[in-house]
């Protein structure tokens, strides 16, 4: 298995770096390779601790050596790793060294207050720092050597400064507290890692497969080939995408679509990896390998989404790049200016500067945004909304205009029989049977839907002749009698239309419904009203959107009467019919000049409009490559109510981001004032800084449990 893939002459290699937890490590790696001609692009996934490097062939080894020079341990990942757990490996340092370091640091404090020999206090402090903070020292001085002012660098400077000015017990306690807070924070971050990794556990790792000799054997799902037959028992999870070839059951598709109700499945229906078989048993043929299943594509999109930074995250990254050097300059000024110009005590002001270095690190500020975004993305994915980047998640709260395709989006997308008017009450069953027989011979979608609706009404009469009448309908001879099944136009040509019937047809046509008529050579026998029914969820979704203050518009290629009727049924503000794809694109373009707009469609016919809108939302993305590729947001079922849920999630995410930013900056400002006033100490600074990091991470993780 190759460790990397080649695309357009460049190699793309995934490298796991366990030490890459914070954006400051990202900055170190970017700086290392910024002028390297062999490195074409770097993509960082801090949640997975994975760096994807686009590089020239035969340059991987120097790249790995460069990463090692920073003190990191790079691990090249296989292009298609079969080890699920390795994808989101979580590593922890053991607790016991930290416990020992804490005890020794406490002894240093006791020695200092009890006035034990100075050498004993220094020995206890040095031992605590060596046991509990040596790794921080190594990372800190390595960062300084490479010109990066991350938290480890600032802590190393602060602890060294404290030792030099004789604050040995405090230096030891600060080191231990920092290591403790760092470990707690790492374990909190692991929850976000597990949230993405848990998606991979939805599909079982093994499948019961039919072998060539007719026997059944349990095989690893990743080894099952296309076209293989898999057997599923009641209560089992489905390991791979496929199509049922025998049996039937109800399937719980909630793990990947968020649908609340089970879906009945029988021969010919598609099933998806990660969904749960409820009561029946069936065999199905595999239509997608493990690496290309709907579930695998969802996981891939969620992983990709982590790299599409939200506006707030981009702002924080830029802010942090300016903020840290400014703080270092402030600490330097605090060290020099008061003693030189105002007669301050050197040791007192050096101590205050060291405290400020500890509290100043922007880690809490920087790490809170990706954790919040990833938590929201994972929560949405588990509930059937696939968001392809933080930018779309955060910008959804700004939407003030939504445009909808009609067929398959607001409506069911398939015609069904709404009403059947049989004009001879004594021949109800016979007329239905004749109409069903003729409709079954036609390949027109409306005729097929009519045949499906009428196929249980009596025995099928013998049909001896069938003729398609293009643009009008069909003609058939049944038991020696000629019958016609077709449109309003056809009965006009036959001369059997009446004023009363015209009036009836006009009412249905104004409602946007299709009418199919059955007649003999002398009279109309029946009128069948076909309609693409509105989804119940559409009405609720539109009501919620209007309550949110969002305007709505329908864009459809259907006739204007049908579009107007459906728009009125669900409460859409404006409706445009008879539109070609380029017409929809033009309307979206005009609206986007003064509104933040989303287009909701099926991901195929509406591709131009989906691409042009600020946010493109695809409906019914289960199994659809086109929907997953085209849209910025994919709803894994056909429920429009997920759009208001998306907007609520976006608003909740934005609130949490603002809370985290306000808390992190506010706490630093308060502590800066306390320190300059003489009340701040180094151990308090560690508690404040790492406590802030921990609290903003935990606040962001609340989005993992957000219910849409």
Known catalytic residues?
405
Nearest CA among 418, 320, 162 for reference residue 661: 320
| Rounded (5°) CA angle 315-320-326 | 130
CA distance 97 to 128: 10
3-class secondary-structure state, position 618:
strand
Q: What residue spans of 201-310 are helical by DSSP H?
A: 254-257, 294-307
Residue 195 near residue 213, CB atoms below 8 Å: no
Tokens standing for residue 158: 């602060």
User: Distance between CA atoms of 86 and 276, rounded to whole angstroms?
Assistant: 25
Q: CA 364, CA 60: separation in Å to the nearest integer?
A: 33
Q: Cα dist. 169→134, 141, 173, 182 in Å?
A: 16, 22, 6, 20
H runs (alpha helix) in 361-400: 363-382, 390-395
Nearest to 148 by CA among 64, 317, 24: 24
- What's the rounded Cα separation, in Å, for the pair 232 and 275? 11
Cβ 461 vs Cβ 434: under 8 Å: yes
Structure tokens that stand for 347 in this block = 């040791």
What is the Cα 119 distance to its own chain's centre? 58
Cα 18 from Cα 588, distance rounded (Å): 45
| Cβ–Cβ under 8 Å, residues 245 and 251 | no
Q: What is the CA radius of gyration of the chain?
A: 34
- Residue linked to tokens 């320190």: 675
Which 3-state string (H, E, C) describes 538-574?
Answer: HHHHHHHHHHCCCEEEEECCCCHHHHHHHHHHHCCCE
Scan for tokens 């802030």, then name that residue.
Answer: 692
φ, ψ at 16 (rounded to 5°): -85, 135
What kind and span of H or E run contains 137? helix 118-145
Distances 167 to 34, 331, 346 between C-alpha atoms, Å: 40, 18, 14
Sorted by sequence, the CB contacts under 8 Å of residue 123 that are 6+ apart come out as none
Nearest of 648, 568, 556, 565 to residue 602 by alpha carbon: 556
The CA–CA distances, whole Å, from 707 to 236, 258, 409, 495, 617 equal 26, 11, 23, 60, 20
The vertex-386 CA angle with 380 and 387, nearest 5°, equals 90
């Amino acid at each position: 298995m190759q460790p990397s893939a080649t695309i357009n002459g460049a190699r793309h290699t995934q490298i796991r770096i366990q030490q890459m937890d914070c954006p400051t490590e990202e900055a170190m790696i970017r700086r290392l390779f910024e002028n390297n001609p062999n490195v074409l692009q770097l993509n960082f996934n801090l949640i997975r601790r994975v760096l994807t490097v686009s590089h020239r062939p035969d340059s991987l080894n120097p790249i790995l050596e460069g990463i090692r020079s920073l003190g990191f341990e790079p691990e090249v990942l296989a292009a298609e790793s079969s080890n699920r757990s390795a994808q989101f490996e979580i590593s922890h340092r053991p607790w016991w060294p930290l416990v020992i370091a804490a005890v020794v640091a406490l002894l240093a404090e006791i020695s200092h207050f009890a006035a034990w020999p100075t050498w004993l206090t220094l020995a206890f402090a040095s031992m605590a720092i060596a046991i509990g903070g040596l790794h921080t020292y190594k990372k800190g001085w390595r960062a300084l050597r490479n010109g990066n002012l991350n938290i480890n660098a600032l802590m190393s400077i602060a602890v060294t400064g404290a030792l030099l000015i004789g604050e040995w017990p405090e230096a030891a306690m600060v080191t231990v507290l920092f290591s403790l807070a760092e470990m707690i924070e790492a374990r909190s971050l692991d929850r976000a890692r597990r949230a993405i990794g848990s998606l991979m556990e939805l599909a079982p790792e093994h499948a019961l497969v039919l072998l060539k000799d007719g026997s059944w054997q349990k095989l690893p799902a990743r080894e099952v080939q296309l076209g293989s037959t898999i057997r599923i028992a009641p209560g089992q999870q489905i390991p791979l995408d496929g199509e049922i070839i025998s049996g039937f059951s109800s399937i719980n598709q909630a793990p990947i679509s968020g649908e609340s109700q089970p879906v009945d499945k029988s021969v010919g229906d598609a099933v998806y990896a990660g969904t749960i078989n409820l009561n029946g048993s069936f065999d199905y043929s595999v239509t997608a390998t493990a690496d290309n299943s709907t579930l695998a594509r969802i996981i891939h999109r969620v992983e990709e989404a982590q790299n599409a930074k939200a506006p707030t995250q981009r702002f924080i990254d830029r802010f942090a790049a300016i903020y840290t050097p400014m703080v270092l300059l402030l600490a330097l000024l605090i060290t020099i200016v008061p003693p030189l110009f105002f007669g301050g005590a050197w040791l007192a002001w050096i101590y205050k500067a060291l405290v400020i270095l500890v509290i100043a690190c922007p880690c809490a500020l920087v790490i809170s945004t990706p954790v919040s975004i990833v938590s929201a993305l994972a929560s949405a994915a588990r509930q059937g909304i696939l968001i392809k980047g933080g930018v779309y998640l955060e910008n959804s709260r700004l939407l003030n205009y939504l445009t909808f395709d009609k067929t398959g989006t607001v409506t069911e997308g398939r015609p069904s029989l709404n009403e059947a008017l049989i004009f001879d009450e004594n021949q109800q069953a016979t007329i239905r049977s004749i109409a069903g027989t003729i409709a079954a011979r036609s390949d027109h979608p409306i005729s097929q839907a009519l045949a499906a609706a009428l196929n249980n009404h009596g025995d099928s009469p013998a049909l001896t002749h069938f003729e398609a009448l293009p643009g009008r309908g069909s003609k058939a001879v049944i038991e020696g009698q000629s019958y016609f099944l077709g449109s309003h136009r056809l009965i006009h040509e036959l001369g059997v239309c009446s004023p009363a019937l015209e009036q009836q047809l006009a009412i249905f046509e104004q409602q946007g419904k299709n009418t199919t008529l059955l007649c003999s050579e002398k009279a109309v026998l029946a009128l069948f009203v076909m309609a693409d029914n509105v989804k119940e969820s559409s009405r609720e979704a539109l009501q919620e959107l209007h309550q949110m203050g969002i305007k709505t518009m329908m864009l459809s290629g259907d006739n204007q009467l049908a579009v107007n009727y459906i728009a009125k049924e669900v409460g859409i503000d404006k409706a445009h019919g008879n539109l070609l794809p380029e017409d929809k694109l033009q309307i979206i373009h005009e609206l986007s000049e003064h509104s933040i707009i989303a287009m909701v469609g099926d991901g195929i016919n509406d591709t131009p409009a989906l691409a042009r809108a600020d946010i493109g939302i695809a409906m019914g993305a289960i199994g659809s490559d086109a929907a997953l590729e085209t849209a910025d947001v994919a709803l894994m079922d056909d429920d429009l109510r997920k759009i208001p849920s998306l907007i609520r999630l976006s608003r909740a995410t934005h609130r949490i981001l603002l809370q985290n930013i306000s808390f992190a900056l506010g706490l630093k400002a308060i502590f800066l004032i306390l320190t300059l006033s003489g009340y701040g100490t180094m151990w308090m600074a560690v508690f404040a800084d790492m406590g802030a990091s921990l609290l903003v991470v935990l606040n962001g993780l609340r989005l993992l449990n957000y219910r849409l």
